[in-house]
């Protein structure tokens, strides 16, 4: 191994790793939003067609309000991911904070929305091969990898206090 074999700056590997995470966290957020949207779409379609208790599920206020909450949270997560991606592309100073927020909100939102979708589909969502059976399994890991949710909260707090010190 010689100096010619060094990639990037000596002792700069940690910075490269952190910059990579700043890019990957909004990406994880983006596919979490995709999972949430797929679960929401399936729920809209199912509750509009399913007859129960003399009417469509969508006409029960408790169902409609849950669907509204799913749509609200999915849209909020999507906007947070867009904001982080825009900040990354612009080379903004607050990228670590925005990336952590986008990853945290989107992955926790996807977990919530997929869980609600399973509830509103009833037992059929638990059948092997059902879209929601797949989403319910796959939605769990993104809250752990690329930095667990606890790690994202740690970054958000650290970056927020840093802003205070910079004043
Ligand atoms: C599907 C999948 C794909 C993966 N792909 C990759 C990959 O491509 N490359 C790669 O390198 N790794 C990958 N991983 C590994 C992933 O990054 C780790 O699982 C993750 O970092 C958590 O590490 P751990 O599993 O060893 O759990 P631990 O480090 O033991 O953490 C367990 C739990 O402790 C808590 N915790 C841990 N650290 C802290 C902290 N600092 N502050 C507060 N709480 C904390 C969290 O709740 C965490 O979930 C993948 C994991 C999965 C599930």
pLDDT in tens, 146-160: 999 999 999 999 999
> How many alpha carbons lie under 13 Å from residue 110 in its C-beta half-sphere?
29
Residue 3 pLDDT > 90? no
- Ligand 1 neighbour 41 (Cβ under 6 A): no
Among 69, 75, 146, 159, which one carries the catalytic annotation? 146
Mean pLDDT of 82-111: 97
In this prediction the pTM is: 0.94
Residue 166 pLDDT > 90? no
- Ligand 1 neighbour 141 (Cβ under 6 A): yes
Looking at ligand 1, which residue's alpha carbon is closest to its atom 21? 145
> Quick check: is 150 catalytic?
no
- Ligand 1 neighbour 145 (Cβ under 6 A): yes
- Ligand 1 neighbour 17 (Cβ under 6 A): no
Mean pLDDT of 67-89: 98
Write the CA distances from 98 to 6, 88, 159, integer angstroms.
Answer: 31, 9, 10
Report domain extents, the chain: 11-166
**Closest CA relative to residue 130, chosen from 113, 111, 117:** 117
- Ligand 1 neighbour 150 (Cβ under 6 A): yes
Displacement of CA 127 from its chain's centroid (Å): 25
Torsion of CA 25, 31, 35, 40, to 10 degrees: 90
- Pocket residue to mutate for ligand 1, from 111, 141, 145, 158, most atoms within 8 A of Cβ: 145
Domain 11-166 -> CATH class:
mainly alpha
**Closest CA relative to residue 29, chosen from 91, 88, 94:** 88
* Span 6-30, pLDDT tens digits: 888 889 999 999 989 999 999 999 9
Q: What is the pLDDT of residue 1?
A: 84
- Ligand 1 neighbour 151 (Cβ under 6 A): yes
Closest-lying ligand 1 atom to the alpha carbon of residue 143: 49
Residue with tokens 């059976």: 133
Looking at ligand 1, which residue's alpha carbon is closest to its atom 40? 151
**Closest CA relative to residue 79, chosen from 60, 100, 105, 61:** 105
């Amino acid at each position: 191994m010689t100096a010619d074999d060094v990639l990037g700056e000596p002792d700069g590997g940690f910075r490269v790793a952190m910059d990579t995470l700043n890019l990957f966290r909004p990406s994880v957020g983006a596919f979490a939003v995709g999972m949430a949207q797929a679960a929401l779409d399936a729920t809209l379609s199912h509750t509009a067609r399913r007859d129960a208790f003399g009417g469509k599920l969508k006409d029960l206020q408790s169902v409609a309000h849950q669907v509204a909450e799913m749509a609200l949270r999915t849209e909020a997560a999507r906007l947070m991911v867009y904001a982080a991606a825009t900040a990354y592309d612009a080379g903004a100073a607050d990228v670590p904070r925005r990336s952590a927020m986008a990853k945290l909100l989107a992955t926790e939102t996807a977990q919530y929305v997929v869980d609600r979708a399973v509830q509103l589909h009833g037992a059929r969502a638990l059948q092997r091969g059902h879209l929601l059976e797949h989403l319910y399994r796959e939605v769990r890991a993104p809250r752990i990898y690329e930095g667990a949710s606890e790690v994202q909260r740690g970054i958000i707090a650290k970056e927020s206090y840093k802003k205070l010190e910079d004043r």
